[in-house]
């Protein structure tokens, strides 16, 4: 907004935060540098580059004849049989896909007209049309009561978890806290180290949450309560030494791991991710680790560069005013596609994305600003190079908007682009010798292995909107918060025979696709092997599949209107609400562990370096490190080796160590980690990522 004096002003919210939709971040110098990097002659130096601006046509008129690449198949039989085999296999695949669609429609009609009748249909419609999570919980409880799933929750025996072991653990966690003695506390410490593990005794088996609409068995809810209470008890007790507490929380962190939210690609289907994020945000259940690919990378970047107050502003339907990537008219993009082989212009996207990423923020700058860890998957233009996951560890100075563009560079839609990195003086230059990158979902839509390696992620929440695999999500035994109604949850969706046919068709389709891939029968279109788009791992520990419609395909490369975006956000929220109870149970324990590690680190600093604790946010980030080292050297205490603790990743934006790097195997001393932690000291009282076990959003 411009005032009468000609100065730029912004409308501010009640929290004195500028209106996000009125802010502008475009840096034309950075756009020019990006354009220059894209247009550089790939043969101007000795560095190996791609030899085409587009996947479909070369840069120059004169095209040298390709040399035979070593390793290409030779022999007459391969070239004679290859295309007839492809024709036969694709004919089988087409028949099986059509038969699969028929099976799915039969199940849909049977469920709609036979299973959901009378009171059950009325209750389901009430649940489907709820406007917030609290209303959904009430509707879900009514359905649980109607189908008598409440009785199932009270029953302890069940075939998908070790209920005998869990009963003993719950009993001991309670009894060991009744009398606070050294013996009991050490037993409690050992018990917590044993029982606080990922999917301990099968308590995180999705089958335990797919037999009711809300919650799970009471004994599992009791386990979560007892564990969080015991961790808090161990953290606050005076009878355990700092060494014992550090050992406890370090081991439980490694064993239990952390949760990541993974947002898939899917073009304009990706706007359903906004509803998933909003549902988690409203319930205060957003993880601190995010990964996104293509459209998912756009939404992940939008979230990870903004604080909670700023997110509250942008997670609305008004966001459609900033989602204008497809705004070019047909008279503009058709000539562009004919000339360059791509519908969209990367430089135009770089301007529009700078609002999404709040300017040219890097992965490290975004992490320091919000404490959220952003990961974006890209693959090199070279077909033999492995995929790369960009984050504040692997590419700290890489500019986020260039990574988002690269992650959306699907051949024919957007040409491969150069990643950019920011220098200390604020200028930007090509990253990694100017090599070009494209859409990571072509090979790794959900980079689970990288997340585990860098950030100890052992639990993934996947929001999956890829249109080419949406059809094949069926869940014959129900999914989290969506039990099968057949035989009151004890049957198969559509009956056993139909479910077995559905499973057979999916496995047979996968078999043919793997055969095509392994025999390398599929031609390389646009110099890209497309077989991986069907054969990746598309699911996580919890998978959220927003309900899309056939009409969505007509808008797959169009910007959303305000009404359409509102509908997509609402749809994303409603399919996320059934998963929140399982997510909250997991995060309650995660956050109890994280809070313990944070408070112990603060206490350790207060004991060893009392002068540092009085430092507040300001210019102290680096200026006391020499003093701390001199203090440590002058004391020369060799008995403090037990105080060496693992350097961990973030606890949140206001944590004491949210700038430190992850180390999954090596322990480093406190003195070496202090230098990167001082910046956030003094902000922990306002910490919003660390919720106690009685937080109202989690306790619901």
Q: Which helix (H) or strand (E) holds 542?
A: strand 542-544
Do the Cβ atoms of 34 and 402 come closer than 8 Å? yes
Beta bridge partners of 12: 18
> Do β-strands 428-430 and 420-422 pair in parallel, antiparallel, or remain unpaired?
antiparallel
Do the Cβ atoms of 47 and 434 come closer than 8 Å? yes
Closest CA to 33 of 471, 350, 349: 350
| Alpha-helical runs (H) found in 636-685 | 670-674
Question: Quick one: DSSP state of residue 65?
Answer: P
Exposed e or buried b per residue across 74-112, where buried means at least 16 C-beta atoms within 10 angstroms of its C-beta: eeeeeeeebeeeeeebeeeeeebeeebeebbeebeeeee
Catalytic residue status for 439:
yes
First to last CA, the chain: 42
Helix pair angle (76-110, 496-518), 10° resolution = 160
Sequence-distant (6+) residues with CB within 8 A of 204 are 198, 459, 541, 582, 586
Q: How far is CA 428 from CA 26, 53, 510, in A?
A: 14, 21, 44
From the list 345, 439, 445, 676, the catalytic residue is 439
Which residue is it, tokens 């005794």? 201
Q: Tell me how far apart the alpha carbons of residues 288 and 350 are, in angstroms, rounded to a whole number.
A: 26
Catalytic residue status for 294:
yes
Phi, psi of 220 (to 5 degrees): -75, -40
Structure tokens at 480: 């989290």
Pick left, alpha or beta for residue 478 (phi over 0 → left; psi -120 to 50 → alpha; otherwise beta).
left
From the list 294, 377, 380, 450, the catalytic residue is 294
Do the Cβ atoms of 678 and 620 come closer than 8 Å? yes
Catalytic positions are 294, 439
């Amino acid at each position: 907004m411009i005032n009468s004096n000609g100065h730029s002003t912004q409308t501010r919210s009640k929290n004195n935060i500028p209106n996000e939709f009125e802010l502008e971040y475009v840096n034309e110098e950075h756009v020019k540098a990006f354009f220059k990097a894209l247009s550089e002659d790939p043969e101007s130096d000795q560095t190996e580059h791609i030899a085409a601006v587009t996947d479909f046509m070369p840069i120059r008129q004169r095209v040298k004849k390709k040399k035979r690449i070593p390793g290409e198949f030779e022999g007459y039989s391969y070239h004679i049989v290859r295309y007839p085999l492809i024709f036969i296999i694709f004919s089988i695949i087409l028949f099986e896909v059509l038969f699969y669609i028929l099976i799915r429609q039969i199940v849909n009609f049977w469920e709609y007209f036979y299973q959901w009748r009378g009171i059950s249909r009325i209750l389901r419609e009430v649940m489907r049309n709820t406007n917030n999570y609290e209303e959904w919980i009430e509707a879900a409880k009514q359905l649980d009561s109607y189908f008598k799933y409440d009785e199932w929750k009270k029953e302890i025996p069940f075939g998908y978890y070790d209920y005998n072991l869990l009963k003993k653990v719950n009993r001991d966690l309670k009894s060991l806290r009744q009398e606070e003695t050294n013996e009991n506390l050490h037993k409690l410490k050992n018990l917590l180290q044993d029982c606080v593990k990922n999917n301990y005794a099968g308590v995180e088996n999705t089958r335990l949450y797919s037999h009711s609409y809300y919650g799970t068995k009471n004994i599992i809810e009791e386990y979560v309560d007892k564990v969080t209470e015991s961790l808090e008890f161990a953290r606050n007790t005076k009878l355990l030494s700092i060494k014992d507490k550090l050992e406890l929380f370090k081991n439980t962190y490694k064993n239990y791991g952390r949760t990541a939210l993974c947002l898939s690609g899917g073009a304009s289907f990706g706007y359903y991710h906004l509803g998933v994020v909003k549902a988690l945000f409203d319930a205060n259940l957003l993880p601190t680790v995010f990964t996104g690919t293509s459209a998912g990378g756009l939404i992940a970047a939008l979230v990870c560069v903004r604080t909670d107050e700023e997110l509250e502003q942008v997670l609305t339907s008004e966001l459609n005013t900033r989602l204008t990537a497809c705004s070019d008219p047909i008279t503009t993009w058709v000539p562009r596609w004919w000339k360059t082989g791509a519908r969209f212009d990367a430089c135009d996207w770089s301007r529009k994305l700078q609002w999404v990423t709040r300017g040219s923020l890097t992965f490290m700058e975004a992490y320091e600003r919000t404490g959220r860890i952003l990961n974006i998957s890209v693959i090199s233009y070279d077909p033999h190079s492995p995929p790369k996951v960009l984050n504040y560890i692997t590419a700290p100075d890489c500019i986020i908007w260039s990574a988002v563009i690269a992650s959306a560079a699907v051949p024919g839609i957007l040409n491969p682009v150069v990643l950019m990195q920011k220098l200390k003086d604020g200028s930007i230059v090509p990253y990694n010798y100017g090599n070009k990158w494209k859409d990571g979902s072509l090979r790794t839509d959900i980079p689970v292995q990288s997340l585990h390696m860098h950030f100890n992620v052992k639990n993934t929440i996947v929001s999956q909107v890829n249109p080419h695999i949406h059809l094949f999500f069926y869940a014959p035994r129900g999914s989290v918060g969506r039990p099968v109604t057949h035989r009151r949850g004890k049957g198969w969706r559509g009956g056993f025979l139909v479910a077995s046919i559905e499973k057979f068709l999916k496995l047979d389709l996968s078999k043919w696709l793997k055969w095509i891939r392994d025999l390398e029968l599929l031609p390389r279109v646009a110099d890209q092997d497309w077989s991986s788009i069907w054969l990746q791992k598309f699911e996580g520990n919890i998978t959220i599949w927003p309900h899309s419609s056939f009409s969505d395909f007509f808008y797959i490369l169009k910007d959303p209107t305000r009404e359409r975006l509102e509908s997509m956000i609402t749809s994303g929220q409603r399919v996320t609400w059934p998963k929140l109870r399982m997510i909250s149970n997991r995060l309650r324990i995660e956050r109890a562990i994280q809070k313990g590690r944070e408070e112990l680190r603060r206490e350790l600093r207060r004991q060893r370096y009392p002068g540092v604790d009085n430092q507040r946010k300001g210019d102290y980030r680096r200026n006391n490190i020499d003093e701390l080292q001199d203090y440590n050297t002058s004391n020369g205490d060799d008995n403090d080796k037990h105080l060496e603790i693992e350097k961990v990743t973030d606890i949140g934006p206001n944590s004491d160590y949210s700038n430190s790097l992850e180390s999954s195997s090596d322990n480093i001393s406190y003195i070496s980690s202090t230098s990167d932690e001082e910046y956030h000291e003094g902000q922990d009282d306002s910490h919003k990522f660390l919720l106690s076990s009685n937080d109202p959003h989690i306790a619901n």
